[in-house]
Structure 1
């Protein structure tokens, strides 16, 4: 595939705005993670305080994701994303002001991060639903690959920039930059024009949130491949928590310390970029089958930590894990968008995100507890074995995973790519 074809989604102005907004949001989010951590330690220098702040952001995000899915199917998705960005900008701007003026307290951090987590929960389902409307169906796989490439690149750049800004100017300025990136993202998204969705109704009466949720859940539960994919993703997220929890310990004991772990994390990020590039170039006829192959490539990383201390091998397997995750994510997102009716995609995306990531925070705690009881090597090998077995299990148990072929996405509206709005409002 020639490079111009791989970049064909960028021919559409609305997608260019979307991918730029996505990159800015991801960069700002990663930038803020380092800054928030140091802001917490500046006011309450304990690990427990940092845990409370992270929980205050994560729990509302998970809770409100489902409502974000409902509204993403009721209102113009670009406008929902703009509203989310504006709220996040105000929150991070207020937090930056509090840090810069020395008025920061633990409770203020928790409240502001809870609002941030809640607002960002409305952004995610709307973004998933908006992507298919900005490019033709034939460009959808490449569009998701580009989104992954830009997002992963921003994810690597953000922490590095934030570390420098925090070191030389303090966390407040890094948070202020994050607020600006949210505003820039909102301005880009304002230029995307989307037709109003059909008002939710039942029998001539407005439809309630409960009915919308039930309809969205039916879309998920009626597809065996979708349920299997969510459960498998949940397993991968929970088990890979062992890698990121125990990896630094192993690096400190046998690989030479923090520098080695930093190299492995960098390799994971570089692999993610490679996986996104592969997703740009591949157009698999059986995307879910190809996704299983990508997931299988990610499995050796954890086992390698237990049988070798030669860093080049560990760097290679860790990069493979990053590439496998990124490619699998692009294939999954594309299939989800093509196989789900567009007027229900927001809710299905919300259920997918909740189901696949809800155990990730607990995975860190579980990994540490299991390692304390069974040992680090047994924990990593056991997690690796579970993941390795999940691939053939899913392929055997769910024939749709093997057989599902690419075809045009079902839709209830015009699939013509959106055009940039003539005016912001």
Structure 2
């Protein structure tokens, strides 16, 4: 199969950043993503710092993830009904208030676990509404020809936050306290609020009034009506549950046992983030003529780092494979997000994106639990080998499907 390459129109020297609305949004969102990268470390040390158990920490994190997923569909409906910018403003204001309160309780020494659970859940409610709204806002502030480049830049900001945020939070926690790290995270949401408030777009034209359930049904119909959309959503759900979950759960175990200790896992994760960032210059100038084919191939690349853990291969080889996996994930995210935004009607994009997200991450919690449980019986290597074979075979099977091959740029 031949995949031709087409260049993304260069536009101006600075691409989407030449557009004031996107530049304002991007600066605020990038700061917010750095804060998000700090959050998990800060929350973990806040819970443990008050004498919370590992089970308490797991409960706080699981509660946040659960309400996030549950709010995605509602977020899509609200964003398509009332306007994406206002939903994002309210969401980030909610996150600022929740995280600010969390930080204050920690700093004054009165942060019971139940309060941290509640505030972390509220903060994730804001995230659940923000995410689908952002998917609908981006096409409104960037010309269509610059959409992929905008999504690449957003992905780079996210990856930088994932790499730099935990390191920064760790330094702050050691030097001061988890409360300071949480306060800085809260402040990043306020920066985002100001940035979004400065974005100027035409007044949102409210659609014909129907019930929220009718809105939800319309979004589901749009999601399932195009085979390539629901097929990739389901495929990514299986990827998260059957491959990425074992990678996250069993990777540290293999690293500790066979690759030189816990530091090696940190190096593998750093390589993963570096791969995502380093592929950005390519994505800024290249758009595939068969985007869904490239998405499937990108998923297939993830068999490499999991295979390296299954063998296991030497650390340098495993780290290089992880970098390739990070690059492939960046390719997937940039092309997939752009494809949805350019092929789905603007009035439906938030809802379709929310159904895609809910489906894509639905198997992650099960996969995380199952990978550990099965590995206790069969061993980590057997689980990782099964995940590798699954990923290679599923990618090969997907490539022969007409729904995958016929979607062209």
**Shorter-chain TM-score category?**
over 0.9
The question of whether the paired residues in 2 share the 8 Å contact of 1:74 and 1:198 is answered with: no
**Equivalent residue number for residue 325 of structure 1:** 329
**Equivalent residue number for residue 300 of structure 2:** 296
TM-score in terms of structure 2 length: 0.95
Which of 55, 61, 73 is the matching residue for 2:80? 73
**Equivalent residue number for residue 354 of structure 2:** 350
SS at match of 1:283: strand
Pair 1:120 & 2:127 matched: yes
The alpha-carbon deviation at position 3 of structure 1 amounts to: 8.3
Note the alpha carbon deviations across 1:55-105, whole angstroms, 9 max, x for none. Answer: 221111111110100011112211211111111011111011100010010
**Equivalent residue number for residue 99 of structure 2:** 92
The question of whether the paired residues in 1 share the 8 Å contact of 2:11 and 2:146 is answered with: no
The alpha-carbon deviation at position 4 of structure 1 amounts to: 8.0
**Equivalent residue number for residue 275 of structure 2:** 271
SS at match of 2:400: helix
What root-mean-square deviation, in Å, do the aligned CA atoms of Structure 1 and Structure 2 show?
A: 1.5
Which of 380, 401, 405 is the matching residue for 1:402? 405
Pair 1:32 & 2:39 matched: yes
Query: Which moves more between the two structures, 269-278 or 111-120?
Result: 269-278
- CA distance in structure 2 between the aligned counterparts of 1:329 and 1:199, rounded to whole angstroms: 29
Which of 248, 254, 269 is the matching residue for 2:252? 248
The question of whether the paired residues in 2 share the 8 Å contact of 1:235 and 1:387 is answered with: no
Note the alpha carbon deviations across 1:244-267, whole angstroms, 9 max, x for none. Answer: 100111111111111111111100
- CA distance in structure 1 between the aligned counterparts of 2:192 and 2:276, rounded to whole angstroms: 23
The question of whether the paired residues in 1 share the 8 Å contact of 2:36 and 2:161 is answered with: no
**Equivalent residue number for residue 46 of structure 1:** 53
- CA distance in structure 2 between the aligned counterparts of 1:6 and 1:357, rounded to whole angstroms: 37
Distance 1:4 1:314, change over 3 A: farther
1:301-320 counterparts in 2 under 5 A? 301-320=305-324
The question of whether the paired residues in 2 share the 8 Å contact of 1:31 and 1:161 is answered with: yes
**Equivalent residue number for residue 230 of structure 2:** 227
SS at match of 1:73: helix
The question of whether the paired residues in 1 share the 8 Å contact of 2:302 and 2:391 is answered with: no
- CA distance in structure 2 between the aligned counterparts of 1:311 and 1:5, rounded to whole angstroms: 42
Which of 362, 385, 389 is the matching residue for 2:393? 389
Pair 1:157 & 2:171 matched: no
Note the alpha carbon deviations across 1:366-396, whole angstroms, 9 max, x for none. Answer: 1101111221111001011111112122222
The question of whether the paired residues in 2 share the 8 Å contact of 1:275 and 1:325 is answered with: no
Which of 341, 349, 372 is the matching residue for 1:368? 372
- CA distance in structure 2 between the aligned counterparts of 1:31 and 1:338, rounded to whole angstroms: 32
- CA distance in structure 2 between the aligned counterparts of 1:195 and 1:134, rounded to whole angstroms: 10
The alpha-carbon deviation at position 112 of structure 1 amounts to: 0.5
- CA distance in structure 2 between the aligned counterparts of 1:3 and 1:139, rounded to whole angstroms: 8
SS at match of 1:370: helix
The alpha-carbon deviation at position 41 of structure 1 amounts to: 0.5
The alpha-carbon deviation at position 199 of structure 1 amounts to: 2.5
| Aligned length in residues | 401
The question of whether the paired residues in 2 share the 8 Å contact of 1:241 and 1:363 is answered with: yes
Unaligned segments of structure 1, at least 5 residues: 407-425
Pair 1:56 & 2:60 matched: no
**Equivalent residue number for residue 207 of structure 1:** 210
